[in-house]
Amino acid sequence: MEASSEEKAEFEEAEIKYVSYEGEHHLPLIMSLVDQELKQAFHKGKCVGTVVCKMGEHRNTFRGYIAMLVVIKPYRGRGIATELVTRSIRMMMESDYEEVTLEAEVTNKGALALYGHLGFIRAKRLFHYYLNGVDVFRLKLLFPRQELHYSVPVMTNRDEVMNMLIWIALEECSGLPYSEERMSC
Amino acid sequence: MADKAVSEEASMDGQAPKPTSIPVTDNTVWADASPLLDAACIGLRYGELIHGDNFNLFAAMSALEIMDPKMDSGIVCRYYSIDEAIENGAAPVPISLDSTIDVQCTIDIMDHLLACEAAWHKGHSLAQTVFSCIYLLRLDRTASHALLHSYGRVIRATCKAVLSVVSDARTHEEEDLFTMTYGLPLNGDGDEKCLSMLNAVEETISRQLRACKATSSKRRVSEDLEPLQYNPNLEEGFCKALLCRLRFRKHFFHVLTCMKRPQGRGLELARKHIASCISELEFILKSAEFLQSCSGESCEDDIDDKTTASGREPIGFDASLNSRLSAPTPPRAIKILSWKKAVEYFVKLLHDLDVICSYSLDPHLENLLRFVVQFQKSQPDLVARSHLQLLLVQDGKLYGRDPIFAVITKAAALPEATKNHDIQKNESILQLGQLVMNLLKILCTNAAWQRRKLGKILQDWRVIYLQLELALRNEFGEVSSSSNDENICMKIFQHILIWVEEQTYWIACRFLMLGFELELYSASEYCMVYWYSYAVLIKLAEKTHLKMAVSYDTAKRKGKKKRDSPKDLVRESRIPPAVLFLQCYICLAEGLTMMLAALRNEFMILQSPSPFNTEQEKFVQHFELLQRACIPDHASYLSFKESTTHARFSTLVMYNYFKDAQRIAKEVKSSFSNDPDRLAELRKLEQVAEHNSVALNLICRLGALDPSLKVSFEFSHHPFFATAVVRRS
């Protein structure tokens, strides 16, 4: 997520709105983001970043997993990725999850710095994890343990294959209201 | 294609197509679903999946079979089967009727196969690499082409040999694709005779080379020798190019065969073949110039990326033909190594194999462990590591030769005769033997996997220690026995117990050190890592020293008649060099812990405050496996904080651990004059100590006064002990 030398979007902090995934109508926004041939349109109201997470039980541990994080190039270096990830982690912490994990390529200095500042350690190195031969680090964040806390994580649903948590960063369109409705799918 | 056939049928007679094997019953009737399917095809847009009450997203996703040409209409192959490819001339035999082109193309095929082989070794599937060669998939077709046929046979036999070594060693966790063969034709009848076939071809070409050399010097030549190809000016060049390639294959196959011989009996001969391989590879590299010049194509800039020496594309390769054999996952596009990189790979592989073959098969476990650790520093690849593992652990014995119990008794510094003692039948002792073999196997895996495994076995080693301790107490109690035999049993147990502890701390140490090699620690975590390492190293030195002292004591007791000479007394009080070496480590670890702590305490640097957790969570995570095994006892986050809260530069300069390290390193050098590896390391340790000592003094004098000073820690001298670098920003 290093700042690119290409045209950087000019915007102020207040112009970025963060919304939680609301439904299928958000999917095309997310899909277009992860599409490599993203067209860089500069009109307002467009999705500039997203994070996709999974929350569930893994070997008796309630664990969150950050599957994907992307911010389009012109908007990098402004803390949007950090904000997206921070919101996700906060939600996991509030739901009494024990830890958060993800994989990051060993060469991805930006990601390693971002997660390092949030308290992740490099728990393991996985050799040739991706078939292009690149190693990855498994990053893990352990929440401080609250010894006598027996609350059940809010979002557990045994019937679901998994719980997804998605945050989207939208560049504000003047005059259009955004709903504060938050949900998981 | 299927729907086309159905709609054709439907339009022909307007009736339902005839059922094939499923008959109509009372409750069922055949109905033509083609119109429905057609409508669905038109109705579905890109990216949409069929959805129904009993057919959810999960089911729809599971039904997809991507990249299978029969199921995925998006996959367009040139040929849908090997036979179709052959019928369409993708792999002609002979390759060309023009013998010059035929020879050129044969050499290209050989080169590309080498590149494929290297790509396979690096972790890709056989199906997409070596067996992307259509000639290899139907080797019998090439019977009339002696060169191609013999080369193909040797390559097939070689791949089979390498595969069996890697499969037996099971060191290939991440390189999973390596061992999958899924119905590829790896077993050829008569492949054991492949070398004699190759020799015959080599002999023919050798004679031809001699003949064309004779012709050039205008001497008389035998009439019954057929030239390789039509152009007499190119004959010598082609003969040489072919000969080095054939010879490389021959010698490489010999290397594998020799190294396979049990108990390391073939190692010396293997070294000779390795040397031949390396020299043939040099000839192969040299042949590139000739091959490029006669290829007739312009010299492109990206010749270095090509998979052949000539720079031409080889004939007869198609990786997509095997896509159905590349299950379970759809085959990803892979890049075959360039020919140059492939040769480099084989040169490195051969050097690594040579190191293995030069090993003296030392029966002392501690020397072996040091050899393996040293060997791993050159980052050997999978094939080399597998060979090492198979050499070390064969038939439940070390080198297939030394029973594990004998290895243990030697490592525990017990007398030679102990190896025959009945105690080896004890359940816990047997388990210990298994742990030792497992440890040796783990040490041959790649660094990342190795560290994970070492962390896991710490628990096992702790448990075996407790089991042995319990057995000792149960059998002999606290009181020393009167029976001589029981006395010996007790002594053996005691020695082994001390050694088990020493070995456990050694594993813990390696676990921590590998973390640096794998770059698992960030700079803000160095302090706690060095602190923990210091705690482990202290225990390791203690146990090592204890083992040596106990063994000396035992030896002394055995020779009851000898009286203590002054020399013996001196020897007893002197610290053994191995322990001094560890003490050097200890001083450096302590020095670094304190320096890092002082930097944090006084200058607030190398901290990493996080919004979600504290340093304690990071401590718990990094050392979880060690803590679980109580290695060492009482190494908690609290004790870490207590040890480091009061670190200040003013005191550190007075109690300079780095100076101690320097002194010890100097002192102990003479004891290792016959050990070049340890001497080299001692020199590095001295440098670390010196640089850090200077940095310490600098920071103490100027740190508070000059805020522009920046301190970083780099591994410029030693892979485990960092050197502090002080710069002005």
Contact call for A141 and B608, based on CB within 8 A: no
The values of phi and psi at residue B409, to 5°, are: -65, -35
Per the model's pLDDT, the better-predicted residue between A185 and B166 turns out to be B166
For chain B, the C-alpha Rg in angstroms (whole number) is 34
Q: Position B549: which residue type?
A: A
Q: Residue B374 above 80 pLDDT?
A: yes
Confidence (pLDDT) at A154: 47
Sign of CA dihedral A150, A155, A157, A158: negative
B184 in Cβ contact with B132 (< 8 Å) = no
Least confident piece of the model among A43-47, B310-314, B620-624: A43-47
Confidence (pLDDT) at A134: 84
Contacts of A88 in chain B (CB under 8 A): none
- Burial of residue A177 (number of CB atoms within 10 Å: 0-12, 13-18, 19+): exposed
Contacts of A86 in chain B (CB under 8 A): 611
B259 in Cβ contact with B252 (< 8 Å) = no
- Measure B449 CA to nearest chain A CA, in Å: 7
Q: What tens digit of pLDDT does each residue of B86-100 get?
A: 999 999 999 988 889
Mean pLDDT of chain B: 87
The answer, yes or no, to whether ipTM is higher than 0.90 is no
Confidence (pLDDT) at B722: 97
Supply the range of the domain harboring residue A89.
13-142
Confidence (pLDDT) at B184: 82
Confidence (pLDDT) at B300: 64
Chain A interface mutation, best of B527, B528, B621, B627, highest count of A Cβ atoms under 10 Å: B621
Contact call for B618 and A93, based on CB within 8 A: no
Q: What tens digit of pLDDT does each residue of B714-725 get?
A: 999 999 999 999
Q: Residue B566 above 70 pLDDT?
A: no
B650 in Cβ contact with B700 (< 8 Å) = yes
Mean pLDDT of chain A: 72
User: How many Cα atoms occupy the beta-carbon half-sphere of B613 within 13 Å?
Assistant: 26
User: How many Cα atoms occupy the beta-carbon half-sphere of B607 within 13 Å?
Assistant: 14
Per the model's pLDDT, the better-predicted residue between B484 and B273 turns out to be B273
Tokens of B548: 């040596």
Q: Flag whether A159 is in a domain.
A: no
Pairing of strands A16-20, A163-171: antiparallel
Task: Identify the closest residue of chain B to A27 by CA–CA distance.
Answer: B47
- Measure A90 CA to nearest chain B CA, in Å: 8
Contact call for A123 and B520, based on CB within 8 A: yes
CB of B637 less than 8 A from some CB of A = no
Contact call for B608 and A123, based on CB within 8 A: no
Contact call for B522 and A86, based on CB within 8 A: no
Contact call for A133 and B123, based on CB within 8 A: yes
Cα separation, B245 vs B238, in Å, equals: 11
Q: Per-residue pLDDT averaged across B259-280, rounded?
A: 96
Q: Residue A5 above 60 pLDDT?
A: no
Closest CA to B557 of B624, B491, B617, B473: B491
Q: Residue B312 above 70 pLDDT?
A: yes
Per the model's pLDDT, the better-predicted residue between B294 and B680 turns out to be B680
Contacts of B617 in chain A (CB under 8 A): 119, 141-144
Q: Note the residue count of chain A.
A: 185
- Burial of residue B233 (number of CB atoms within 10 Å: 0-12, 13-18, 19+): exposed
Confidence (pLDDT) at B14: 47
Task: Identify the closest residue of chain B to A100 by CA–CA distance.
Answer: B612
The values of phi and psi at residue B330, to 5°, are: -65, 140
Q: Residue B212 above 60 pLDDT?
A: yes
**Segment (H or E) for B690:** helix B676-702
Nearest CB to A124; choose among B173, B452, B613: B452
Task: Identify the closest residue of chain A to B453 by CA–CA distance.
Answer: A124
Q: Is B465 left (phi over 0), alpha (psi -120 to 50) or beta?
A: alpha
**Segment (H or E) for A170:** strand A163-171
Contacts of B621 in chain A (CB under 8 A): 121, 123, 140, 142
CB of B58 less than 8 A from some CB of A = yes
Q: Per-residue pLDDT averaged across B524-543, rounded?
A: 97
Contact call for B621 and A124, based on CB within 8 A: no
Residue B463, number of CB atoms within 10 A of its CB = 14
**pLDDT tier, A52 (very low <50, low <70, confident <90, very high otherwise):** confident
Contacts of B608 in chain A (CB under 8 A): 116-117, 119
B465 in Cβ contact with B502 (< 8 Å) = no
Q: Residue B416 above 50 pLDDT?
A: yes
Nearest CB to A126; choose among B448, B608, B620: B448
Question: Is B673 in a helix, a strand, or coil?
Answer: coil
Q: Flag whether A167 is in a domain.
A: no
Q: Residue B418 above 90 pLDDT?
A: no
Per the model's pLDDT, the better-predicted residue between B212 and A173 turns out to be B212
Confidence (pLDDT) at B567: 58
Confidence (pLDDT) at B8: 41
- Burial of residue B147 (number of CB atoms within 10 Å: 0-12, 13-18, 19+): buried
- Measure B368 CA to nearest chain A CA, in Å: 25
Chain-centroid distance, C-alpha B251 = 23
Query: Scanning the structure block, which residue is given the tokens 């997993």?
Result: A65
Q: What tens digit of pLDDT does each residue of B420-432 get?
A: 888 888 899 999 9
Q: Residue B223 above 60 pLDDT?
A: no
Chain A interface mutation, best of B613, B615, B620, highest count of A Cβ atoms under 10 Å: B613
Q: Flag whether A98 is in a domain.
A: yes
Number of domains in chain A: 1
Contacts of B121 in chain A (CB under 8 A): none
CB of B607 less than 8 A from some CB of A = no
Per the model's pLDDT, the better-predicted residue between B504 and B59 turns out to be B504
Residue B488, number of CB atoms within 10 A of its CB = 17
- Which value, to the nearest 10 degrees, does the dihedral of the CA atoms of residues B444, B447, B452, B458 take? 60
Chain B interface mutation, best of A142, A145, A161, highest count of B Cβ atoms under 10 Å: A142
Confidence (pLDDT) at B352: 98
Closest CA to A91 of B608, B621, B612: B612
Share above pLDDT 70 across residues of chain B, in percent, rounded to a whole number: 88
Q: pTM for the full model? A: 0.85
Q: What tens digit of pLDDT does each residue of A143-158 get?
A: 998 665 455 444 444 3
Q: Residue A36 above 60 pLDDT?
A: no
Contact call for B174 and A126, based on CB within 8 A: yes
Q: Per-residue pLDDT averaged across B385-400, rounded?
A: 95
Q: What is the DSSP string of B348-414?
A: HHHHHHHHHHT----S-HHHHHHHHHHHHTT---HHHHHHHHHHHEETTEETTTEEHHHHHHHHTT-
- Measure A124 CA to nearest chain B CA, in Å: 7
- In the A/B pair of chains, how many CB contacts fall below 8 A? 77
Contacts of B447 in chain A (CB under 8 A): 125, 127
Q: Flag whether A90 is in a domain.
A: yes
Task: Identify the closest residue of chain B to A140 by CA–CA distance.
Answer: B621
Q: Could you tell me the CATH number of the domain that includes residue A118?
A: 3.40.630.30
Closest CA to B464 of B491, B499, B488, B492: B499
Chain A interface mutation, best of B612, B620, B621, B637, highest count of A Cβ atoms under 10 Å: B612
Q: Residue B297 above 90 pLDDT?
A: no
Contacts of B124 in chain A (CB under 8 A): 131
Q: Flag whether A161 is in a domain.
A: no
CB of B627 less than 8 A from some CB of A = no
Q: What is the DSSP string of B645-656?
A: TT--HHHHHHS-
B389 in Cβ contact with B171 (< 8 Å) = yes
Contact call for A129 and B621, based on CB within 8 A: no
